Amino acid sequence: MQTVLQNLSFSLNATIPVFLMMVFGGLMKKVNLLDDHTTGKLNQFVFKALLPALLFMDLSQADFRSVWDGKFVLFCFCATFLSIGIAFLLSLPRKNWSERGEIIQASYRSSAAILGIAFVNNIYGHATMAALMIVGTVPLYNVAAVLILSLTAPHDGEKPSARKLLLRTLRDVATNPIILGILAGMLWSVLKIPQPVILQKSVSYLGNMATPLALIALGASFQLKSAKGKLGLTLGISAVKLFLFCGLFLPAAVWLGFRTEKLIAILIMLGSATTCSCFVMAKNMKHEGTITACAVMMTTLLSAFSLTMWLFVLKSLGYI
């Protein structure tokens, strides 16, 4: 009983503050401390500067060579790839292509980098496997998101030709700040380039601002009127994000022999809340963002309870 309460307390401590930051952003909009123009610029700042700095900070400081587990990284990659495919199939009933892109991204992208390290570190005192999980998932998360959001983005005027669409998609992938931040962080880690204290502190200042500012911008951008009629869709995305993928891939992870820290990292990869960077990316790639904002808020609220349930199941079965 004590373990259950501890897990519940940790999950609530990890998720409720995130939800409250979004509420705070909404309140700032209500009292006119933030307007649409400022919020738009804030979204661009987070997308183009802060999130790349956060991912560079996480990946550049991970010692991959000493703890590399190819089987684990490959499983994380394959489970993520299959999750994207399942999300795509589940989005097919929607006729609106722009909405379909938001549904796919919100269904498969987790708070792997932000929540994963904190969650694993809290339980085991270190987050080595969470770093490896990030290697297997975060690059694929972002490459797939750029492709999906670019291919389903609303078009001004005539629909572009297949060649123009392909060129635009490739350009978006090659110039995406988040992907560039990931590549720089991985290269820095593999080459073991030393980080001067000045650089380390400066990057950490930027990275630490990413999550709160992204959440504030999300809350300020969220419009309740636009969310009307989206509750059923949002609950569907939440069910897929928090329960379906865990139910499909956790048994496979157990069968392959993953236990303790690795299994917790996989749980976070599969069943944590939709990351707020989904909203930032959707808005910056010309999508409305309402579905994504609703999904982030709903999964953030519900994940406190769903993660606790999965932890309780895994602990009761002796896998963690």
The predicted model gives 21-46 an average pLDDT of 86
Does 12 or 248 have the greater pLDDT score?
248
Write the single-letter amino acid at 42. L
237-264 confidence digits (pLDDT tens):
999 999 999 999 999 999 999 988 888 8
Rounded distance between C-alpha atoms, residue 44 and residue 281, angstroms: 9
Write the single-letter amino acid at 98. S
* Sequence-distant (≥ 6) Cβ neighbours of residue 98 within 8 angstroms: 152, 153, 154, 287, 288
Rounded distance between C-alpha atoms, residue 97 and residue 65, angstroms: 42
Q: Strand locations in the chain, DSSP E?
A: none
Rounded distance between C-alpha atoms, residue 257 and residue 253, angstroms: 7
270-302 confidence digits (pLDDT tens):
988 888 778 878 887 778 888 888 888 888 778
pLDDT of 104 reads 94
Q: N- to C-terminal Cα distance for the chain?
A: 16
Q: 19-39: string of b/e by CB count within 10 Å (b at 16+)?
A: bebbeebbebbeeeebeeeeb
Write the single-letter amino acid at 174. A
pLDDT of 82 reads 96
Please tell me the least confidently modeled range out of 129-138, 186-195, 245-254: 129-138
Rounded distance between C-alpha atoms, residue 123 and residue 125, angstroms: 6
